[in-house]
Amino acid sequence: MAQKPETGAGSRQLLIIDDEENMCDMLARILKRAGYCVDTALDGRSGLAMIARKNYDFVLCDLKMPHMDGMAFLKAAREKLAATTVIMMSAYGTIDTAVTALKEGAYDYISKPFKIDEVVLTLKKAEERENLKRENRFLKARIRNIEGDFCFGRMVAKSRAMREVFKLAEKVSKYGTTVLITGESGTGKELVARGIHSDGNRAKGAFVPVNCGGIPETLLESEFFGHTKGAFTNALRDKPGLFEEAHGGTLFLDEIGELPLSLQVKLLRVLQESEVRPIGGSQTRKVDVRVVAATSKNLEEEVRRGNFREDLFFRINVLSIQLPPLRERLEDIPLLCRHFIARYKEKLNKDIQGIAPAAVSMLMKHPWPGNVRELENVIERAVVLAEKKVVLPENLPAELGAKAGNRRMDDIFGGFSLKAARRMMEERLIRRALEATGGNRTRAARLLEISHPSLLQKIKLYAIDL
């Protein structure tokens, strides 16, 4: 009697690779009855040819085979099997062999001889794992879309403008294209550059950042291209330049608009020829470097003024990413606040759970000339000063409109009555708690360590408007 196909398995593509034809035929018959679409191959080379023509959900592969064994197949097919579950089979299995197979990307390992039920069960477990992974990815994407939070590298945002930046940066990271990142100071140009590097195929190489405006002009050429021993006074040994340090990785040229014209022409040649000549050297050296440049200047305007070479501008402006200032994406401020609070509460070892709505409202009204860097500094300061579990308006700088909360006691109470002082302090603490919780009386009562009915009574007594 034929076995009824498993629900949902009918469309699952499976490849069996085994040099024993009888084993291939037996497994193929049984697994077809289990609902899989099965193909077979008699060695690793044939298996490679088949996965090149067709995408498989699962591969059952024998370890010992002529021409190309299972381990060699795993190594050769690693990229093509990125979305495929591979299960190895062998009559010569050892723990070391199994561990090696798992390191090479196999999901599981079955020792021969095995029961057919064991193969079906292993495939079923693998399928359940894949279903869970797909469901997890789907739920994460759905939550991210609901919350509207997106990230790229170490950056987070929810505004439409920054989502477009992240999408563009993610696309370009897969290629070696030269990128020019523009935007005001503090918008996160280096973070975008680092994200492009870490998300691309050069992630294992070095990321070498250099501020073009922070190196004395007399040292620029040596820093960029290196020098040989004796090339000039105090050149006591050969020194590789930044391009050689970044070989196989990414060189980030921050504030490239600050480069003097004399170096711009030499940089252009390096970008065109992919080779450098150290100062004092007689031969050029090949370099494999991806260049990501950034500037807060308007380079087109600098070209018109004669401060920046037009040919260099065209060479680095293959793909441009413009970062908007924080004042044009205010909806990112609450998310950035949570992000920075989470960072600094760990760094400073403080139990800060969030930020009061009134504090966020103050932050939303600030023009942020220093952009995200300024906001980060403000939040770090606030976490240091916070005495409660939330950042309050009084923890923010005075220039944001915060009122100091450290007036002398006699200035506050204006007399000697303990009864009056208690009423004033009680009213003030209740107002602060309500402010910190955005008017949530239940949470405010917990902060004040009193009952909810008691809080309602005091709100009425002190005529506190919510």
Mean pLDDT of the chain: 85
The reply to whether 50 falls in a domain is yes
Q: Tell me the CA end-to-end span of the chain in Å, nearest whole number.
A: 74
Q: What CATH number is associated with residue 134?
A: 3.40.50.2300
The reply to whether 7 falls in a domain is no
Torsion 395-399-400-401 (CA) sign: positive
The reply to whether 68 falls in a domain is yes
Instruction: Give the pLDDT confidence score for residue 300 in this predicted structure.
Output: 94
Confidence of residue 238 (pLDDT cuts 50, 70, 90): confident
Same domain, 383 and 235: no
Same domain, 182 and 210: yes
Same domain, 288 and 343: no
Q: Are strands 85-90 and 58-62 parallel, antiparallel or unpaired?
A: parallel
* SS3 category, 86: strand
Q: Is the pLDDT of residue 175 over 90?
A: no
Same domain, 128 and 273: no
The domain boundary, picked from 301, 323, 345, lies at 323
Count: domains in the chain: 4
Same domain, 335 and 201: no
Instruction: Give the pLDDT confidence score for residue 434 in this predicted structure.
Output: 84
The reply to whether 415 falls in a domain is yes
Among 32, 2, 306, residue whose Cα is nearest residue 15: 32
Confidence of residue 277 (pLDDT cuts 50, 70, 90): confident
Same domain, 179 and 308: yes
At 162, list the tokens.
Answer: 């920054």
Structure-token match 């003030």, residue found: 428
The reply to whether 103 falls in a domain is yes
Same domain, 333 and 203: no
Please, how many CA atoms are within 13 Å of residue 34, restricted to the half-sphere of its CB? 21
CB-CB contact of 431 with 464 (8 Å): yes
Domain with 354, as residue range(s), is 327-400
Confidence of residue 140 (pLDDT cuts 50, 70, 90): low
Instruction: Give the pLDDT confidence score for residue 4 in this predicted structure.
Output: 36
Q: What is the pLDDT of residues 415-453, one digit of tens each?
A: 567 777 788 788 888 888 887 777 888 888 888 888 888
The reply to whether 309 falls in a domain is yes
% of the chain beyond a pLDDT of 90:
37
Q: Is the pLDDT of residue 227 over 60?
A: yes
CB-CB contact of 179 with 196 (8 Å): yes
The reply to whether 144 falls in a domain is no
Q: How far apart are CA 320 and CA 58, in angstroms?
A: 41
Same domain, 188 and 319: yes
Instruction: Give the pLDDT confidence score for residue 70 in this predicted structure.
Output: 86
Same domain, 170 and 74: no
Q: What share of the chain is helix, strand, coil (3-state, %, to 5)?
A: 50, 15, 35
The reply to whether 107 falls in a domain is yes
Same domain, 226 and 293: yes
Same domain, 206 and 314: yes
Q: What is the pLDDT of residues 303-332, one digit of tens each?
A: 999 999 999 999 999 999 999 999 999 999
Mean pLDDT computed over 263-281: 89
